[in-house]
A and B are shown apart, each in its own frame.
Chain A
Amino acid sequence: MAVVEAEDLRRTYKTTTGTMRRRSIEVEAVRGVSFSIAEGELFGLLGPNGAGKTTTIKMLITLLIPTSGSARVLGHDVVKDAQWVRKNIGYVFGGDRGLYERLSALDNLRYFAELYAVPPGEQRRRIDELLELVGLKGRERERVEGFSRGMRQRLHIARGLLHDPPVVFLDEPTIGVDPIGARELRATISSLVQAGKTVLLTTHYMFEADALCDRIAMIAKGRIVGEGTPTELKAQVAEGTVVEIEVYGVPDETVDRLRRVPGVRSVSIEDREQAQALLVQTAPGAELTTALLAQLNGTTVGRVSSREPTLEDAYVALVGEE
């Protein structure tokens, strides 16, 4: 049985513009998203900012009512059976908000243990276990306001797991966390799946999705543009190669010219300190380096290299098509 099922989920936001002449506009954040997650699976929802990841997750955790479509968690409808769903899921939002800053980590966890009806006799043991799991043991009596972003994030995870839910939703849990902190968080996330939980993770970090997820749905502009295991997704662009060209200031017209070179599938630009990197995905068998460099006449070019596609390239290709 699928643990989480989304069927043609849609969500529209109404917003207004203008001060004197107010006009109401409708923004379609999610436009027909469907997927299902099997028991014990770590499913990733990968997409750029504003793609509809958070809106989708908020519909699944009962905080937003879908405009249309339906979703079920463990067979229960997230709108009709909201209370049941709330009891059986845990969720963690990225960022450092959502905690009672002036109180200690322990106070926060104790209060949420009450809200999640953790039996009084079990609270102490459960909180201890979780502090150990997220690596906050020994710091639990300190006020949250003094915590680093990574510590807050780990406290959030502990909060989300207090009632030992079978399904966990993690919305960009490593956002803004330093590399070592993020690595520790990823280890914690892996351990959740080992403990038998079903996890939905949203992220826009490719390597994170690649390293953690059993299956990934790529989402862009409110629609799912690709779905599969990381290997399957990479295979979609695997036949070609990626030429990476370091440039120092490249005009838009030049990028357009590169896109028109026969055999080029897509071109994207990544900012790297003073330089930019042009990532050119090419069709299989095409040896385009010379042709590409010819188009860059007049642009200062740095290092040029070609490599096998990564999940990020699959992402750029799929999301870029939208």
Chain B
Amino acid sequence: MALRLFAKGWAFHLKTLTSSGFFVLVSVIQPIIFASIAFFMYEQGSKSGTLLYVALGAGLMGIWSSTLFGSGGAIQWQRWQGTLEILIAAPAPFLLVLVPLTLATASIGLYSIVGTLVWGRIFFGVPLDFAHPLQLVVALPVTVFSLGLLGLMLASTFVLYRQASAFSNLLEYPVWLITGLLVPLSLLPGWVTPISWLLAPTWGVKAIRDAAIAGNPSAWPAIGMCVLLGAAYLVLGWFFMQNFERLARQRATLSLT
């Protein structure tokens, strides 16, 4: 029953998200922008053979943006349209309502990576030769899953704090930077590294790059890290949700917009 609710919820939210004209516009234009960023960064760089490396990072930027706005925005959006109270008052465990929602937003981000690569191929001739297709097929959904669960952890705070989505808007660029999506982590100050280890996009982009680019180490360790972090986010998200939902009912913030 839980699995069915999960699958149905995911499909439902995917349908809601993709039925917006704004979304369609963003999903067409954003990958073009990301592909251009990737290409121009590559052009300015001196190393050869890194075009796919940059393009994959740029593609992941899209998954992160979509998760961040999707998860943060999702709760806020439910508030605005008055469905948050209805979802909370439904007997289904709220975690099982929210996980499919955040995963749906991350899944939409998956399109971004595909779109970025396709546009990169068409406009800038990004070579699409993937070294380990099997690892890539595993790495992509695992990355989407772990980012979705990071979104869940963030979303759980939005149930209580109405202002949290303003904070989430600030997280887009810093995370692009400190997880190595744009520039290699080795170029950043040393204190950034431990923070980046706690963020799923770091391991997600590593897993995808390791799987796609020949000569890189195996993608499995990075895939494993994504799974571990995803599980940790799920536990923390569940814990926050339990407490925040109760607090929101005490403080009467569920219906406020």
Interfacial residues, chain A to chain B (CB-CB below 8 A): 13-14, 61-65, 83, 86-87, 91, 93, 95, 97-103, 107, 110-112, 114-117, 120, 159
Contacts and interface: CB of A to CB of B under 8 A. Distances in A.
Contact of A111 (B12, B20, B88, B91): B12
Interface in B82-120: 82-83, 85-92, 97
28 contacts: A14-B251, A63-B85, A63-B89, A64-B249, A83-B91, A86-B89, A86-B90, A91-B89, A97-B81, A97-B83, A98-B85, A100-B83, A102-B20, A110-B12, A111-B8, A111-B9, A111-B12, A112-B86, A114-B4, A114-B9, A114-B92, A115-B90, A115-B91, A115-B92, A116-B91, A117-B5, A117-B91, A120-B4
A91 B90 CA distance: 10
A100 B90 contact: no
B8 A98 contact: no
Nearest to B8: A114
Contact of A98 (B9, B19, B86, B246): B86
Given A112-B90, A117-B92, A102 B83 contact: no
B250 interface: yes
B16 interface: yes
Interface in B211-257: 246, 249-252, 254-255
Given A98-B86, A115-B87, A115-B97, A103 B252 contact: no
A65 B12 contact: no
Contact of A115 (B5, B15, B254): B5
B91 A63 contact: no
A97 B82 contact: yes
Closest 8 CB pairs of A and B: A97-B82, A98-B82, A115-B90, A87-B91, A102-B19, A86-B91, A115-B92, A111-B12
Nearest to B254: A63
Contact of A114 (B5, B20, B88, B255): B5
B1 interface: yes
Nearest to A87: B91
Residue with the greatest number of chain A CB neighbours at <10 A, chosen from B8, B88, B246, B252: B252
Contact of B249 (A63, A95, A99, A110): A63
Contacts of A65: 246, 249-250
A93 B82 contact: yes
A13 B89 CA distance: 20
Contacts, number: 78
B247 to A, nearest CB: 9
Contacts of A102: 16, 19-20
Interface in B101-142: none
Nearest to A112: B90
A161 B192 CA distance: 53
Interface of B: 1, 4-5, 8-9, 12, 15-16, 19-20, 81-83, 85-92, 97, 246, 249-252, 254-255
Residue with the greatest number of chain B CB neighbours at <10 A, chosen from A83, A107, A111, A116: A111
Contacts of A114: 4-5, 8-9, 12, 92
A103 B16 contact: yes
A267 to B, nearest CB: 36
A72 B257 CA distance: 29
Contacts of B246: 65
B9 A99 contact: no
B226 to A, nearest CB: 28
A248 B13 CA distance: 56
Contact of B89 (A14, A61, A120): A61
Nearest to B7: A114
A64 B246 CA distance: 9
B169 to A, nearest CB: 22
Contacts of B252: 13, 64
Nearest to A86: B91
A159 B85 CA distance: 14
B20 to A, nearest CB: 6
A91 B81 CA distance: 17
Given A63-B85, A102-B20, A110-B8, 17 more contacts: A62-B89, A65-B249, A86-B89, A86-B91, A95-B82, A97-B81, A99-B82, A100-B12, A100-B16, A100-B81, A102-B16, A111-B12, A115-B87, A115-B90, A115-B92, A116-B90, A120-B4
Nearest to A100: B16
A103 B91 contact: no
Contacts of B255: 63
Contacts of B83: 97-100
A185 B4 CA distance: 33
